[in-house]
Amino acid sequence: MPMETIAVSGIPFPVSRIALGTWAIGGWMWGGADDRQAIATIHEALDLGISLIDTAPVYGFGHSEEVVGEALVGRRDKVAIATKVGLDWKDGKPFRNSSAARIRQEIEDSLRRLRTDRIDLYQIHWPDPAVPLDETARVLEDLHREGKVLALGVSNFSVAQMEQFSAVAPLAAVQPPYNLFERAIEDDILPWSAAHGLAVLAYGPLCRGLLSGRMTAASHFGSDDLRSADPKFQAPRFAQYLAAVAALEAFAKERFGRSVLALAIRWVLDQGPTIALWGARKPEQIAGIDQACGWTLSAADKVEIDRILAAHITDPVGPEFMAPPGG
């Protein structure tokens, strides 16, 4: 099926509704990096119709951006790059820093690593309680006027924070965690974004691999793997989530002849003005993207999905463990 696209205010062409997420490509918190495989993954994504790549300086402390920049040599004008700003780090530990000085430094570092003269979508990675939001918004609006940034976005922001930001600078997108298991944004962020014309870049649509259909009770995560700190991957919850995935897999195959992975992505795409960030670090990890496009879930399908979740997950938990500390 052809790739579905969506308009993002400020970006001069429609972008794919499935974007490549590159956190794992940076290596940090995902068991190390393999640049050869990562570049092959990016090229495979482009060949499959993906035209939006999402990265961040903190993903491998600059490494993910460098790999993306290398992979896009000769292909830059066909791809929208989304990256982020507002996290600093010391001794391999990130913390929030959205000061004007930090942002001015970060934009130049990101442009250099990405080998480009502009960022298509520049997003505040996490709100910084130590810096007035108006200060952060003003410097980002300056970068926007200077042409270094085409569109502005935020990540992990509340509706109140988005309202405050958008009073100072134009807001085109928001990036929250969102998947079949983590759905808090349906209460406020998703409807607000739809009403105000924002694209919603849903990160973790496969819930850190849980919804890939490839995990089993024997799956192991090392201490340098993000999932070793995720409560979903610890007993007793891990068994609950695996049981839900198995039931969703059976439902997807019986009803649609598709994988649970395709079902999980389709569900995100059907929720509103959404883009699903498909994280991958090996070419084979983005196989099956075409299965997620060109169809839709009915209201009855969504009811059955919710029934499956309620039947198997008795102790749900959100993505709160991922929040970095303040400065």
pLDDT digits (tens, 9 = 90+) for 78-91: 999 999 999 988 88
In the prediction, which pLDDT does 93 show?
85
pLDDT tens column, 192-208: 999 999 999 999 999 98
Q: Where is average pLDDT lowest: 15-24, 47-56, 318-327?
A: 318-327
* β-strand partners of 6: 15
Q: Residue 66: which pLDDT band, with cuts at 50, 70 and 90?
A: very high
Residue 41: predicted pLDDT:
94
Whether 326 shows a pLDDT value over 70: the answer reads: no
Phi, psi of 313 (to 5 degrees): -105, 100
pLDDT band at residue 228, thresholds of 50, 70 and 90?
confident
For the chain, give every domain's residue range: 5-210+262-294
Contacts of 176 (CB under 8 A, 6+ apart): 155, 156, 157, 185, 189, 200, 202, 203
* Reported confidence tier of residue 33, pLDDT bands at 50, 70, 90: low
With beta carbons less than 8 A apart as the criterion, state whether 55 and 85 touch.
Answer: no
Predicted pLDDT at 17: 98
Compute the distance between CA of residue 176 and CA of residue 50 in angstroms, rounded to an integer.
Answer: 20
Residue 44 to residue 21: CA distance in whole angstroms: 13
pTM over 0.85, yes/no: yes
- pLDDT of 313 strictly over 70: yes
Residue 28, pLDDT above cutoff 70: no
- How far apart, in Å, are the Cα atoms of 275 and each of 51, 128, 198, 253? 11, 25, 11, 24
Report residue 110 as tokens: 């990101």
Q: In sequence order, what DSSP letters do the residues of 246-266 get, joined into one string?
A: HHHHHHHHHHHS--HHHHHHH
Per the prediction, the chain carries an average pLDDT of 93
Percentage above 90 pLDDT, the chain: 77
Residue 287 pLDDT:
86
Question: Is pLDDT of 244 > 80?
Answer: yes
User: Is 178 an active-site residue?
Assistant: no
Q: What's the rounded Cα separation, in Å, for the pair 121 and 53?
A: 10
Task: Indicate the pairing of strand 87-90 with strand 93-96.
Answer: antiparallel
Q: Which residue matches tokens 């100072």?
A: 168
3-class DSSP state of 97 = coil
Q: What is the mean pLDDT of residues 112-128?
A: 97
Q: Are 186 and 271 in contact (CB under 8 A)?
A: yes
Please tell me the predicted confidence (pLDDT) of residue 25: 85
Look at residue 98 in the predicted model and tell me its pLDDT: 96
Pick the CATH number of 5-210+262-294 from 3.20.20.100, 3.40.50.620, 3.30.70.20, 3.30.499.10: 3.20.20.100
pLDDT at 61: 86
- The span from the CA of 255 to the CA of 263, in Å, is 10
pLDDT on residue 230:
87
Q: Which residue has the higher pLDDT, 220 or 139?
A: 139
Work out the pLDDT band at 32, boundaries 50, 70, 90. Answer: low
Q: Are strands 173-175 and 199-202 parallel, antiparallel or unpaired?
A: parallel
Average pLDDT estimate for 61-73: 94
| Per-residue H/E/C for 124-171 | ECCCCCCCCHHHHHHHHHHHHHHCCEEEEEEECCCHHHHHHHHCCCCC
pLDDT category, 321, cuts 50, 70, 90? confident
Helix axis angle, 100-114 to 133-146, nearest 10°:
40
pLDDT of residue 129: 94
